Structure 1
Amino acid sequence: MVILVIVLVIIIALVLIGLFTGIRIIPQNQVGMVSVLGKYSRKIPAGMNFVIPFISTVDRVDLAQMPIKLKEQSVISKDNAEVIVSLSLNYHVTDEYKFVFENADSVESMIQQSRAHLRGIIGTMDLNDVLNGTESINAQLSKELDSITDAYGVNVDRINIDTIQPTPAIQESMNKQINATREREAAIAKAEGEARSIELTTKAKNDALVATAEAQANATRAKADAEAYRVQKENNALVGVDEKYLAAQNIEAFRELANSMTNTVVLPSTSIDSLGSLPAVGELLKSKKD
């Protein structure tokens, strides 16, 4: 009787253990991939599920988006410049069967492909394009991975280059080049400023010379116009005078000669005759004859 009780207890314990081991609770956003005796059997959803105990195994697959930060890697650009790149990405599982059974490690395979394609993309770009083209690199890398990661049962939702940093040797060379460029630009700016100053000074002097010449020409022209006007006026005045006026002018000239140190005056006969036409001079000459 005791033996029968022991056997019953053992059977009940085995049943309970079997029931317990056959229960699988799958969390939210996960699925279970059930294998029986090592062969895929079925997929179980989130919640409590029952599988054949002892001979069944369940691989849980997380369907939520997962972030990964890759280790920094050294990459050589097209112009043989070495840069250190830090990369991160987000992915989620799209095909549980491929993810679990068709690849030994789908996540590691995805990482290796990401690093390989990153080297290939940067290897076709010059250093300046690499440092200033993170968005372009992200787009190209995402496009390349879309056509590959499907075989791993995953999809890369977002990929991002966190940092691209030249090696210390390359950075030092870049700093020297930047300083040289700044010095060259400063020298060019200084030379252009001096040339501009000389140009402005020369122009100012030329403008002053032109203005002076124009002023002198205007003054000469005005003087000539005034002299011409004076002569014209005198000529106009002389047109209307008679012989008596001219004779009077001659007498005034004789008076000035008489007041001078000269005591002898020689006059042509025609001048004497013209003087005689004046009443006063005529009377004077007449009295001298008498």
Structure 2
Amino acid sequence: MLVFLIIALLVIIFLLSGCRVVPQNNEGLIETLGKYSKTVKAGLVFIIPVIQKMRRVSLAMFPAEISKYSIITKDNAEITTSLTLNYLVTDSYKYFYNNTDSVKSMVELIRGHLRDIIGRMDLNDALGSTSSINTQLADAIGDLTDVYGIRVVRVNIDELLPSAEIQRAMDKQLTADREKIAAIEKAEGEAKNIELTTKAKNDALIATAKAKAAAVKTEADAEAYRINQLQASLATASDGYFKNQSLDSFNKLAEGPNNLIVTSKDDMTNLAAIPTTAKIWHKATKDSD
């Protein structure tokens, strides 16, 4: 009886030592005498102790960082970059048996493709195209990591930094560009000010000239109106009015110190009556005495 109990206990221990538990989101790789035999899913698994062994592989997503390293651009500028990515195991057999370090191989693959992408770009294009580089990198490594049993879910460039010397040169260039823009804006402002001042002066001269022209026109219109009114009045005047005006004029001339008398051509025939009238006047004066 004691021997039977010992044998039964040994059998139970043997069976229990062959029990393995594969956690959720994991897979187990069963090796028999060091050779892969099968892949088991999550749950309770029994293996033959001593003869078989199980290696557990997690299928969960892992974050990874690719530390800073240097890349040379197309125009021979040195920049430093760092990346973060997320990956997961899609084939536990490939992940464990096809490469001694699948994660390291994946990282080197990503480094190489990123060097290739940025190496075909100028510095300015690379610094301003982080989103485009991310897309190109994701497309480039999409199927290549399958050989390692890994799928990269997300890759992101955290930073692209030029070297210290290039950064100083860029700062100087930026300062020069800002000073140039400020000088251009100042010159444009001064030119605009001169333009506005000149326009204001020209507008003032034009306004003054228009005012003078309007004044001259108004004065000319008034003179024309006066002449028209005078002509209209003269056109309706009688001959007696003109003769009366002539007599007034002769009287004013006679009262002057000159002996010159101005008369019209039509009145020249009446000059002969002046001596006769004078004789009659003198005779009448004597008879009255």
Structure 2 residue 150 is the aligned partner of structure 1 residue 154: yes
* Secondary structure, aligned partner of 1:70: strand
**CA–CA separation in structure 2 for the residues paired with 1:228 and 1:286:** 51
The more displaced of 137-146 and 42-51 is: 42-51
Note if contact 1:31-1:46 (Cα within 8 Å) is conserved in structure 2. Answer: yes
**Corresponding residue for 2:274?**
none
Q: How far is the alpha carbon of 1:235 from its aligned partner?
A: 2.0
**Corresponding residue for 1:53?**
49
From the superposition, tell whether residues 57 and 259 of structure 1 become closer, same or farther in structure 2 (CA, over 3 Å): farther
1:146-205 CA-to-partner distances (Å, cap 9, x unmatched) read 120111111111111112222221211111111111111111111111111111111122
**Corresponding residue for 2:201?**
205
**CA–CA separation in structure 1 for the residues paired with 2:211 and 2:24:** 100
**CA–CA separation in structure 1 for the residues paired with 2:17 and 2:78:** 55
How many residue pairs get aligned? The number is 279
Letter in 2 for 1:222: T
1:199-231 CA-to-partner distances (Å, cap 9, x unmatched) read 111112222222222222222222222222222
1:101-132 CA-to-partner distances (Å, cap 9, x unmatched) read 11221111111001111111111122222222
**CA–CA separation in structure 1 for the residues paired with 2:279 and 2:236:** 29
Aligned match for 1:109, one of 102, 105, 111: 105
**CA–CA separation in structure 2 for the residues paired with 1:246 and 1:160:** 114
TM, length-normalised to structure 1: 0.84
**Corresponding residue for 1:77?**
73
> 1:56-135 maps to which residues of 2 (within 5 A)?
56-135=52-131
**CA–CA separation in structure 1 for the residues paired with 2:35 and 2:270:** 160
Note if contact 2:70-2:81 (Cα within 8 Å) is conserved in structure 1. Answer: yes
Letter in 2 for 1:264: N
**Corresponding residue for 1:34?**
30
**Corresponding residue for 2:218?**
222
Q: Please provide the CA RMSD for this pair.
A: 3.0
**Corresponding residue for 2:137?**
141
* Secondary structure, aligned partner of 1:54: coil
Letter in 2 for 1:141: L
**CA–CA separation in structure 2 for the residues paired with 1:227 and 1:98:** 114
Letter in 2 for 1:80: N
TM, length-normalised to structure 2: 0.85
**Corresponding residue for 1:265?**
260
From the superposition, tell whether residues 232 and 145 of structure 1 become closer, same or farther in structure 2 (CA, over 3 Å): same
**CA–CA separation in structure 1 for the residues paired with 2:158 and 2:47:** 45
